[in-house]
Structure 1
Amino acid sequence: MDDDFPGAPAATSPLLGPTELAEVLADVTVLDVRYRMGGPPGRDEHAAGHLPGAAYVDLDADLAAPPGDGGRHPLPDEDAFEAAMRRVGVRGDRPVVVYDDWEGRAAARAWWLLRHHGHRDVRLLDGGLAAWRAEGRPVEPGEVRPEPGDFRVSATKAMPVVGPEDVRSVDVLVDARAPERYTGETEPVDPVAGHIPGAVNVPTTDNLDERGRFLPPARLREVYARVGADTAGSVAAYCGSGVTAAHDVVAMAAAGIDAALYPGSWSGWVSDPTRPVATGR
């Protein structure tokens, strides 16, 4: 990752704290990616109060294609994603910071897509809106209509993906969902309960401390060392629909572990009834 990001705590870190962001706020593009699974879009929350200058990004409309065989949140069409990022002011030569109010679970999707499509300088605001407010930082109401950006989707993809045909050949396949969904004890969203055979469970909550901030890199490496991801030849992450799995990818990136994303995730996997399903630990 580019080491010229203003105020970056480390050249390889995908994270930026609120203090560091405040120091460079005028020099970065900030995107508000507020979203909650099963809840209304975050546009109203954005209008009520957001980081100064932050444009709203609609996860369902801007960061995903319509639901289908590829799952509930397939990757967006490249042209549509490029247009959406230009509309919210993303430029290829200007750093981007993404945030939400869901401990980074939605913002991670924006981070991943921008990195995947070639933007070199992207950070996730560690702790999101809550951390920003906890420091007494200002928020402002109203809609933000930035000057259109010039971001271009790159033909060369920076972040690896795996599909249903090869996901089970990954050395360590990480399931980012809550433990009870992984084991199949409950499934509130998708039609089939359980997990992909061979997957290991590292729920997104394991990436965070009691404040909702990401654990330090050394602690994150310990979290993923428990499932062998720190020494594996290949690692990939999935969740229910490919959104919160990016949170685990962010955490592993902070820990120095490269991981692919299975965009279809569980919702895409179970769209084909011939694919095997496991339950329990």
Structure 2
Amino acid sequence: MQNLSPIIEVDELMQISENQNLRIFDVRTGSNAKENYIKKHLEYSVFVDLNSDLAEIDDPKNGGRHPLPTFEDFIKTLGKLGIDKNSHVVIYDDKNGANAAARFWWMLRAVGHKNVQVLNGGLQVAQNQNYPLSSVEEYYPETKYISDYQDWQLPQVWINDVKKASQDSDSMIVDVRESQRFDGIMEPIDLVAGHIPNAQNFPFIDNLDEKGLFKSPEVLRNLYSELFDNYEKSKIIFHCGSGVTACHSLLALDYAGFDIPNLYVGSWSEWSRNEI
């Protein structure tokens, strides 16, 4: 399917809910994520774990708190989840798509899977619009995912690239964390507060309206056009705390019609353990 919007509305999902190739995934996070999923989730949705399915966690100093798994391991995970190349994947979380839903979307796009969308507003909006809910743990039959590629297809940068960009006035480093974390006033997760030199703060929450829905593509395009003015696409880098929430802004950019810029997966969690 070509020109598929990266965002799907609740009513649109309802209309396709019986499609045989539809695969819905709940990617909420937190200490009780799986238990909360079992208590209440969208009907037929399967739980995906950020830490074990979408990351390969080892040493935060080398790769950050949520480094990507190997390309090969992620392809195997897709098969175990019941996704094949013909699957229409819809992803949601309980944070307006701001957390692991956007990360899963980025990873699927990065293996070449185009038929993937994030549910606008996530669990809360779906529930408010009376989408059918379930408390039965769901599974899809395993498949074999066959990619046309052997490596990630969306642009990334690594800590040495960010080091150079931090000293280059022609580079744009965008930190999507909330302003108090960027300003070093508070740091609830990582060891040190602050931000990467030369970074600008554009909190991911600015992608959403007061109802927790993505702003329109036109509004987002105006917001980011102003931010990106006079910067080459190859010199724009997005990051967050651990390479998860930054994907929410990459999703917003794709929704607004921009090319997806560089993601620094290691993000502040890696940088702050190495470069301060």
Structure 2-normalised TM-score? 0.90
Q: Pairwise mapping of residues 1-281 of structure 1 onto structure 2 (< 5 A)?
A: 2-3=1-2, 11=3, 13-27=5-19, 28-35=22-29, 39-68=30-59, 69-105=62-98, 106-153=100-147, 154-167=149-162, 168=165, 171-228=171-228, 232-234=232-234, 235-258=236-259, 259-272=261-274, 275=275
Alpha carbons 2:97, 2:119 under 8 Å: kept: yes
Alpha carbons 2:76, 2:144 under 8 Å: kept: no
Deviation, 1:271, is 2.2
SS state of the match for residue 206, structure 1?
helix
Structure 1-normalised TM-score? 0.88
Please name the residue that 1:279 is paired with. none
Deviation, 1:265, is 0.4
Give me the whole-angstrom Cα distance separating, in 2, the residues matched to 1:232 and 1:256: 16
Alpha carbons 1:30, 1:98 under 8 Å: kept: yes
Give me the whole-angstrom Cα distance separating, in 2, the residues matched to 1:159 and 1:99: 21
How many residues in Structure 1 have an aligned counterpart in Structure 2?
263
Alpha carbons 1:89, 1:148 under 8 Å: kept: yes
Give me the whole-angstrom Cα distance separating, in 1, the residues matched to 2:173 and 2:246: 11
Q: Note the aligned Cα RMSD (angstroms).
A: 1.8
Deviations 1:135-183 (A, max 9, x none): 1111111111211122234325331111111121673221010001111
Alpha carbons 1:56, 1:88 under 8 Å: kept: no
Alpha carbons 1:103, 1:128 under 8 Å: kept: yes
Give me the whole-angstrom Cα distance separating, in 1, the residues matched to 2:150 and 2:229: 28
Alpha carbons 2:10, 2:119 under 8 Å: kept: yes
Give me the whole-angstrom Cα distance separating, in 2, the residues matched to 1:230 and 1:212: 30
Alpha carbons 2:105, 2:118 under 8 Å: kept: yes
Percent identity, aligned pairs only, is: 38
Deviation, 1:230, is 8.3
Deviations 1:217-268 (A, max 9, x none): 1111122233226864332210000010000110111112221210000111
Gaps of 5+ in 1: 4-10, 277-281
Gaps of 5+ in 2: none
